[in-house]
C-alpha cells in the first residue's frame, strides 16, 4: 500500500528530472549554435573589413581624405547612437565620461583614421591591408607595457615573426622594389594608435557599454577631424559634393556596414568568444584586403608581400596570445575531465 505513492512520487520526480535534462541539453545546444553564429558573423565581417580597405583607397583618391573621413565617421557614429536609441540603451555621457571618451578617441578615432586616410594616398591598398594586420600584435605589446600582461615565449616568437613580415611588406614598397614608402609609416601609425586605444579602453573604468562608448568616440572624434580638415584642406568639404554615384555608394557602405555595424559585431564577438579567438579572424581580413586590391584595383602583388602575409599570419596567431589561450583551455578541460573521472570512481568505490 505504501509503495504505490512512493513509486508515483519517484516517477513524477523522475519525469521532472528528464525534462530538466532535456531542457539543459537544448540550452547547451543553443549556446553552441550561438557560438557558431558568431564565427559566421566574424567571417562575413572580415570580408567587409578587407574590402573596406579597397573602398577607402578609392575614396581618398576621389575626395579630400580628412574631410571625407570625418563625414564617414560622423555617419557611422550617428548610426551607432540611433541603433542604441532604438534599443533604449542610449544616454548622454557625464562630464568625466566626456573627458575619458575624448582622450581615448584621440587615439581610436582621430589618430587611427587620420593616419589611415593620409597613408592610403601614399601607399598601395595591398601594403595597407598587410600592415594593419599587425594590430593584434601591437595590442599585445601595448598590453604588456600598460597592463603588465605576461610576455610568454610564444608571444615573443610571434612578435618577432610578425614584425619580420611587416619589414618584408614595407621594403617591397608600392612598386615592388626594396624601399620604405612614407605611406607605409602612416599606416603603421594608424595601427599603433588603434592598438593603444584598445588598451586604454580596457584600462579605463566607466559604466558605459563598449558600444555606447564607441558611438560617442566616433561622434567626438569626427568633430576633431573636421577641425583638422578645415585647417589643412581648404575647400575640403566642397570636394564631397563633386563625387559620382558609385563613390557615394562606397562612402555610405563603408560608414554603415564596415564602421558602424562592423564594430558592433566585433565588440559583441569579443564578449562571446574572447579577444584571443577574435584576433585570429583578423588574418582573414588580410586575405580579403590583398585579394580585393589585386582583383578590384589591379594592384600588383609581389613575392615579398606574399611572404610578409604568411609571416604576419603566423605572428598574429602566436603573438596575440591565441596559442597560449588554446593551450590553457586544453589544460583546463583536461583537469576538469580528470576531476570528473575521479569523482565518478570515488562514487563507484563508496557505493
Average pLDDT over residues 240-251: 93
Among candidate residues 63, 35, 8, 64, the one with its CA nearest the CA of residue 228: 64
Least confident of 175-179, 248-252, 267-271, 276-280: 175-179
pLDDT of 104 strictly over 80: yes
pLDDT at 305: 83
pLDDT band at 209 (very low <50, low <70, confident <90, very high): confident
CB atoms within 10 A of CB 83: 16
pLDDT at 201: 82
Question: What are the domain boundaries of the chain?
Answer: 45-342
The pLDDT tens digits for 294-338 are: 899 998 888 888 888 888 888 887 776 667 767 777 777 778 777
Rounded Cα distance, 116 and 93, in Å: 28
Q: What is residue 303's three-state secondary structure? A: helix
Average pLDDT over residues 62-75: 96
pLDDT of 74 strictly over 70: yes
pLDDT at 27: 42
pLDDT of 59 strictly over 90: yes
pLDDT at 43: 85
Select the more confidently predicted residue: 11 or 146. 146
Average pLDDT along the chain: 81
pLDDT of 102 strictly over 90: yes
Direct distance between the N- and C-terminal alpha carbons of the chain, in angstroms, rounded to an integer: 29
Sign of the four-CA dihedral 315, 317, 320, 324: negative
Residue 222 buriedness (CB in 10 A; 0-12 / 13-18 / 19+): buried
> pTM higher than 0.75 for the full model?
yes
pLDDT of 268 strictly over 80: no
The DSSP string of 179-204 is ---HHHHHHHHHHHHHHHHHHHHHHS
As given in the structure block, the three cell numbers for residue 23 are 531542457
CB 235 within 8 A of CB 67: no
Average pLDDT over residues 64-91: 94
CB atoms within 10 A of CB 76: 27
Select the more confidently predicted residue: 273 or 173. 273
Instruction: Give me the phi and psi of 320, to 5 degrees please.
Output: -80, -10
The DSSP string of 37-83 is HHHHHHHHHHHHHHHHHHHHHHHHHHS-HHHHHHHHHHHHHHHHHHH
The pLDDT tens digits for 147-174 are: 787 888 888 888 888 888 888 887 765 4
As given in the structure block, the three cell numbers for residue 76 are 557611422
Looking up cell 557615394, which residue turns up? Answer: 248
Least confident of 112-126, 136-150, 334-348: 334-348
Least confident of 4-18, 73-87, 182-196, 311-325: 4-18
For 41, what's the count of Cα atoms within 13 Å in the CB-facing half-sphere?
A: 21
Sign of the four-CA dihedral 11, 16, 17, 21: positive
The pLDDT tens digits for 213-243 are: 899 999 999 999 999 999 999 888 999 999 8
The pLDDT tens digits for 17-44 are: 444 444 444 444 333 435 557 778 888 8
As given in the structure block, the three cell numbers for residue 91 are 544616454
Amino acid at each position: 500500500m505504501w509503495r504505490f505513492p512512493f513509486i508515483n512520487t519517484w516517477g513524477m520526480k523522475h519525469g521532472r528530472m528528464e525534462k530538466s535534462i532535456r531542457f539543459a541539453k537544448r540550452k547547451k545546444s543553443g549556446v553552441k549554435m550561438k557560438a557558431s553564429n558568431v564565427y559566421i558573423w566574424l567571417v562575413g565581417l572580415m570580408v567587409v573589413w578587407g574590402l573596406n580597405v579597397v573602398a577607402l583607397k578609392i575614396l581618398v583618391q576621389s575626395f579630400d581624405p580628412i574631410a571625407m573621413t570625418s563625414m564617414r565617421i560622423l555617419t557611422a557614429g550617428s548610426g551607432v547612437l540611433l541603433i542604441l536609441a532604438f534599443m533604449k540603451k542610449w544616454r548622454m555621457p557625464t562630464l568625466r565620461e566626456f573627458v575619458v571618451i575624448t582622450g581615448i578617441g584621440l587615439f581610436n578615432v582621430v589618430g587611427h583614421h587620420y593616419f589611415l586616410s593620409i597613408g592610403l594616398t601614399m601607399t598601395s591598398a595591398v601594403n595597407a591591408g598587410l600592415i594593419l594586420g599587425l594590430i593584434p600584435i601591437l595590442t599585445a605589446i601595448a598590453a604588456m607595457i600598460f597592463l603588465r600582461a605576461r610576455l610568454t615565449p610564444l608571444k615573443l616568437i610571434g612578435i618577432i615573426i610578425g614584425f619580420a613580415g611587416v619589414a618584408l611588406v614595407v621594403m617591397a614598397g608600392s612598386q615592388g622594389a626594396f624601399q620604405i614608402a612614407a605611406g607605409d609609416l602612416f599606416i603603421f601609425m594608424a595601427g599603433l594608435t588603434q592598438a593603444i586605444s584598445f588598451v586604454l579602453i580596457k584600462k579605463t573604468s566607466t559604466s558605459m557599454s563598449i558600444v555606447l562608448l564607441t558611438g560617442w568616440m566616433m561622434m567626438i572624434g569626427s568633430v576633431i577631424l573636421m577641425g583638422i580638415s578645415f585647417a589643412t584642406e581648404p575647400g575640403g568639404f566642397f570636394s564631397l559634393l563633386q563625387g559620382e554615384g558609385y563613390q557615394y555608394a562606397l562612402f555610405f557602405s563603408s560608414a554603415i556596414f564596415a564602421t558602424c555595424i562592423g564594430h558592433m559585431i566585433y565588440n559583441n564577438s569579443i564578449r562571446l568568444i574572447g579577444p584571443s579567438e577574435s584576433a585570429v579572424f583578423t588574418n582573414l581580413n588580410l586575405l580579403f584586403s590583398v585579394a580585393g586590391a589585386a582583383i578590384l584595383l589591379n594592384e600588383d602583388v609581389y613575392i615579398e608581400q606574399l611572404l610578409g602575409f604568411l609571416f604576419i599570419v603566423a605572428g598574429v596567431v602566436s603573438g596575440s596570445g591565441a596559442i597560449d589561450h588554446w593551450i590553457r583551455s586544453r589544460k583546463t578541460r583536461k583537469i576538469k575531465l580528470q576531476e570528473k573521472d575521479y569523482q565518478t570512481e570515488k562514487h563507484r568505490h563508496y557505493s
